[in-house]
């Protein structure tokens, strides 16, 4: 595995959150259907990783899917909610900071 080549240890299984219940079902079910032949190769790769306890997929509601922050255009409220879950914040001066950022800028100059 690439990470271990760099000396990085990762606890297994790796948690994987998916908002698509059909994808989770396809991964867990070894029976293939005609409608999903185009994903057959990828499905084998993911299923093998699941069987080997390399990944631990679980369902998450679409509204809580953090990956959507980077992959979709979201309404402002959804965007703000997901950003807050990442722990990101604005570095712009904010009156609620009590002038701390302004003070830091003055000390640096």
Whether residue 54 sits in one domain with residue 81: no
Percent of the chain exceeding pLDDT 90 equals 1
Whether residue 3 sits in one domain with residue 45: yes
Model-level pTM? 0.54
pLDDT digits (tens, 9 = 90+) for 45-97: 888 888 888 899 888 888 888 888 889 899 988 888 888 888 766 676 666 65
Whether residue 1 sits in one domain with residue 53: yes
Q: What is the pLDDT of residue 34?
A: 59
Identify which of 15, 12, 21 has the alpha carbon closest to the alpha carbon of residue 59: 21
Beta carbons of 16 and 56 less than 8 angstroms apart: yes
CA dist 9 to 2, 45, 48, Å? 10, 22, 21
Whether residue 39 sits in one domain with residue 9: yes
Q: What is the pLDDT of residue 102?
A: 54
Q: What is the pLDDT of residue 93?
A: 64
**Count: domains in the chain:** 2
Domain stop point among 30, 45, 60? 60
Whether residue 67 sits in one domain with residue 54: no
Domain that holds residue 67: 63-109
């Amino acid at each position: 595995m690439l990470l271990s080549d760099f000396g990085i240890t990762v606890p297994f299984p790796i948690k994987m959150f998916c908002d698509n219940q059909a994808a989770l079902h396809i991964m867990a079910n070894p029976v293939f259907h005609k409608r999903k032949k185009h994903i057959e190769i990828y499905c084998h790769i993911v299923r093998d990783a699941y069987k080997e306890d390399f990944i631990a997929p679980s369902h998450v509601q679409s509204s809580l899917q953090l990956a959507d922050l980077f992959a979709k255009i979201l309404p402002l409220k959804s965007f703000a909610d997901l950003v807050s879950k990442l722990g990101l914040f604005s570095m712009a001066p904010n009156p609620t900071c009590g002038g701390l950022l302004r003070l830091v800028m003055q000390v640096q100059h």
